[in-house]
Amino acid sequence: MMCWRREDEEQREQEEEISGEDECCEEDNEDEDQDQDQDEGNDNYSTTDSDKNNEVSGTRHRRIPKGADGVSSKPISTGKGLKRKSNEQGLGFESSKRVMKRLPFDASSSVSFEELQHISQGIIQPAEVYQTFIQRSNSEDENGLWLLTRLFFAIASPDAFHQLRDACTSVRRKADVTVPQHLNTVAQTVEALDNLETAASINAILRRYHLICLVEHRNERESQHKTEKPERATRNLRTMRQQEGFARASSMALADIMAEAYPGLEQPSKQSTASNTEYQRRYKTLKNRLCSGRNWHLMQQRFSPGILALVPTGGDYGVQSYEVEKLPVPLFTMFLDVLAELRGDFLQQVGRLVSQRIHDILYRRDLSWKYVFEKMDGDSLKKEPLDSPGFIRFCGLE
């Protein structure tokens, strides 16, 4: 017993926690070199099979306790970071000197898999999906992995179609959601809250599409500046310093967008150290919005624009847009890989069908188009199992 305790204490003394938190969207004083490295690293991130194997092999499986129904009742991670090494005799593992910091699991916000008991037994279960995310990533963020598990089942779920139906109905019924100033009855209060939740759902979808547009504007201007590099290289070095200041393509693209979005704001000189100017505040907001749009852009590229309208806000799965936007790109890319492998065919079909006229409806450009799911009652939509072929029919146009 004493020997066991001594070994355990020595093991704990060798462990050193480091923070793995992604702070892309909250940096106040990033220089241009950091902007470029981060943007290019995020946009071009890819995971090779070798990397995935190392991650799976280098991370000990976390034990998930079983609940009353035989599946795990709460995601708990107990593994320690491992680093893979090779030698002439074969492959082995050694304890890493530095392991990622484990965020405390908040039982009140992501309580247990019991929240997802309504998922049909005929498909993959949340505990399996959660375990897959653990194996595919080296993340120790239990809350983040639990968020991805809920998001996995939330996309194009019955609840997602229910929210989109209400959103389309609200857009057709009136231009703006109005809430009476005086709420004298319970019915009026509940109706007002329902209207506000529907408005929040509409705003969340439209915001995703606008963020995607902003990311694409940035990408277009960045590509343009990159193609101009050979021509700029032939110019006189002194002239190049004066006119462009060796600005990177990403920084030049941001400057272009700032000039178009805020033509009345003057960019501070290079010598200026003030960080509280109106230009700097707008510039920081622009960068944060680009960070917020990157994951939605990846999702749209993997599937289609219509898939962004099928991500519910709150509801049965408690997924909020800002949570998805804060996920690190490597972790979210892994999530999209798993999502495409396990639900890809269905999501491709419904996403493509919804993409046909969803912009016309939500932007009120042409309300003559109507999806079949719009005329269905909420109970009928909620009774359909996840990935049911019925949803493909419901996405048809009348």
Which pLDDT belongs to residue 195?
86
pLDDT (0 to 100) of residue 318: 92
Nearest residue to 314 via CA among 145, 165, 198, 393:
198
DSSP state of 209: H
**Does residue 88 lie in a domain region?**
no
Quote the pLDDT of residue 167: 94
Give a yes or no: residue 105 inside a domain: no
Instruction: Tell me which H or E stretch contains 92.
Output: strand 90-95
- 108 occurs within a structural domain: no
Does residue 215 fall inside a structural domain? yes
What is the average pLDDT value for the chain, to the nearest integer? 75
How close are the terminal C-alpha atoms of the chain, in Å? Answer: 73
Q: Which stretch of DSSP H or E encloses residue 391?
A: helix 389-394
Q: What is the pLDDT of residue 398?
A: 87
Band of pLDDT at residue 235, cut at 50, 70 and 90: low
Q: Which of 157, 95, 93, 84 lies closest to 126, judged by CA?
A: 157
Could you give phi then psi for residue 83, rounded to 5 degrees? -120, 130
- CB count within 10 Å of CB 88 equals 4
The region that residue 387 occupies, defined by phi over 0 for left and psi between -120 and 50 for alpha, beta otherwise, is left
Closest CA to 150 of 29, 314, 317: 317
In this prediction, residue 78 has a pLDDT band, given cuts at 50, 70 and 90, of very low
Structural domain contains residue 359: yes
Range of the domain at 271: 30-52+124-394
Residue 187 domain flag: yes
Q: Is the pLDDT of residue 260 over 50?
A: yes
In the chain, the number of structural domains is 1
Q: Is residue 324 part of a domain?
A: yes
**Residue 75, in any domain of the structure:** no
